[in-house]
Structure 1
Amino acid sequence: MSGLRVEHPRHYGRWIASIIAVGILALILFDILGNPRFYWDVVLEYVFSERIVNGFLVTIALTVASMTTGILLGIVLALLQVSKVPLLAALANLYIWFFRGTPLLVQVIFWYNIAALYPEITIGIPHVVTFVTLDANQIITPIMAGLLALSLNEGAYMAEIVRAGLIAVDEGQREAADSIGMSKARAIRRIILPQAMRIIIPPTGNQAIGMLKTTSLVSVVAVPELLYTAQNIAATNYKTIPLLIAASLWYIAATTLLSIVQYVIESHYSKGAGPKSGQKLGRLILDNLTTWKGRQQNPQGTTPNQGKVAEGATQS
């Protein structure tokens, strides 16, 4: 009895769709690259210019500072939300409700004009003793106003992300920590948070990528970040589109790098939680290579395992 022959169906529709998609993409790229109105020479001239690079560094600094502050604030708010003290939980929910309910652009402008409400910032006990008095106009600079708005707003969104991760951890983990005499703070730090990270990391990575582009909102208060710098240059040479393209290239590069960092962190915290998307892709490629090698060694269309199965069936 001859071995079983495996017939692989030919998916002509997939090939036709792929060829059409590649053709459309090639036409779009050809039109964009061949259009002289894009002024690609101007793009190449300014994409690595000192002013654009400095603006990009300001954008990165704002992103890192805002995300770091937002994550720390989000953790505190999430812990207050799940606490058993009703007043603390209510205050945390009120904070989240307010900052998620108002547009970020409004918050940026509000903090920029906070000196109109509080010309002086005092540190001390109200109406009792004052330790330090500061001039609000000197403290709340444009970049400080942008940082405050981005950080406080991000803290509200991160609180919900962290809370979702905390409540996703099985209650038995908390009971096990209590049974061995762990304090609640230590249990959260050593048991709950590490397990919750699997759920927290993916949306946090998305928030970081979103924050990178959201920093462009602070251009309205003249913070010299990437978009504001590109707009300033365009105001002098009237090449708005090329400058926007130059800025976009830096945003795309930074987004790609953040995506890679996100994948590495996800891989670290997902150990033992099943195959990840990257592992699935690698396994698929490996399986295809193994199947191809088996076909080369068995031209009749059977893999070594299939031949053994067929041989065993014949003997039986």
Structure 2
Amino acid sequence: MSISYLWDITIPMLQGARTTILLFLLVILISIPLGFLVTLMVNSRVKPISWLANGFVYVMRGTPLLLQLVFFCFGLPMLPVIGEYLVLDRFVAAGLAFILNYAAYFSEIFRGGLLAVDKGQYEAAKVLGLSRWQALTRIILPQMFRVALPAVSNESITLVKDTALLYAVSVPELLYFAHTAVNRDFTIIPLIIAGAIYLLMTLGLTLLFKALERKFKFE
């Protein structure tokens, strides 16, 4: 197994890893604030909004991500009447499925974080004369994010691995190029290299979140 061969199969996989990283960044940057918005909707005093948010979370968490990917990539264009207007680029459709799925999971993480904040904190904020918004932004949310950070870390690492599902809807990413090389050359070396690239990405994320956890722990 020559060095030149290893280089030749690694270059396309690194190009595919760019798609993996791009999807990861898009999902993290959009699904985390969206998930927090869903959390607020779940806790809304307006019942229809709360029911809608709870229904969204139930559907997105209760069905497989792969099924959601297939639906957004292939099912949307088949919808009666509006299907022809919902033909999306394959990467965009897959990204939308990932964002909605992870927003549902992040919303539950944030909801758990809110529940972990002692009710006395709310009462203390009221005694201090803080408005509901001031109490939320200055007292409740910092504590919530500190509690939720480890779960957000685990979910983010899971997202890196879940990006391999793009292969199932024919979006060229890391696993796609690895599998192409395996079929072409009848060797498992590309899969080993792909695994090493995934491990490097998850290692980087693990170190980043460990540093964040240490920072928030001692602040």
The alignment's TM-score, normalised by the length of structure 1, stands at 0.64
Give the number of aligned pairs.
Answer: 216
1:205 aligned partner, one-letter code: S
The residue correspondences of 1:26-37 to structure 2 (distance < 5 A) are none
The answer to whether 1:181 aligns with 2:142 is no
Q: What is the DSSP-based 3-state SS (H/G/I as helix, E as strand, rest coil) of the residue aligned with 1:84?
A: coil
Residue matched to 1:250? 197
Structure 1 match to 2:83: 119
* Alpha-carbon shift at residue 45 of structure 1 (Å): 2.9
Match 2:55 to one of 75, 87, 94: 94
For 2:45, what is the secondary structure of its paired residue? coil
Unmatched runs of 5 consecutive residues or more in structure 1: 1-38, 122-135, 273-316
Could you say if the C-alpha distance between residues 169 and 58 of structure 1 is closer, same or farther in structure 2, counting changes exceeding 3 Å?
Answer: same
Question: For residue 144 of structure 2, what is the amino acid of its counterpart?
Answer: A
Deviation, structure 1 residue 184:
2.1
Aligned to 1:308: none
Deviations 1:232-276 (A, max 9, x none): 23333233x11111111100001111000010111121125xxxx
The counterpart of 2:38, out of the listed 63, 68, 77, is 77
Deviations 1:146-205 (A, max 9, x none): 101111111111111000001111112112222333332332222111011221100100
Give CA-to-partner distance per residue, 1:256-302, whole Å, 9 cap, x none: 11000010111121125xxxxxxxxxxxxxxxxxxxxxxxxxxxxxx
> Which one has the largest radius of gyration?
1
Distance 1:40 1:94 in 2: 54
SS of residue matched to 1:233: helix
> TM-score, with normalisation over the residues of structure 2?
0.91
Residue identity opposite 1:45 in structure 2: W
Higher helix share: 2
Shift of 1:44: 3.5
Aligned-residue CA RMSD (Å): 1.9
**How much does 1:218 deviate?**
1.2
Question: Would you say the 8 A contact 1:46–1:52 is kept in 2?
Answer: no
**Matching of residues 96-245 of structure 1 within 5 Å:** 96-113=57-74, 114-117=76-79, 118-121=82-85, 136-137=86-87, 140-239=88-187, 241-245=188-192
Long gaps (5+) in structure 2: none
Q: Determine the C-alpha separation between the residues in 2 that align with 1:42 and 1:166.
A: 53
SS of residue in 1 equivalent to 2:218: coil
Could you say if the C-alpha distance between residues 181 and 47 of structure 1 is closer, same or farther in structure 2, counting changes exceeding 3 Å?
farther
**Cα distance in 1 between the residues matched to 2:148 and 2:112:** 8
2:218 paired residue among 271, 274, 280 = 271
Q: Distance in 1 between matches of 2:41 and 2:170?
A: 36
**How big is the shift at 1:43?**
7.5
3-state SS of the aligned residue for 1:214? helix
Q: Distance in 1 between matches of 2:133 and 2:71?
A: 36
Q: CA deviation at 1:85?
A: 2.5
Report the secondary structure of 2:26's partner residue: helix
Q: Secondary structure at the match of 2:129?
A: coil
SS in 2 for 1:270: helix
Separation (CA, whole Å) in 1 of partners of 2:153 and 2:4: 33
More strand by share: 1
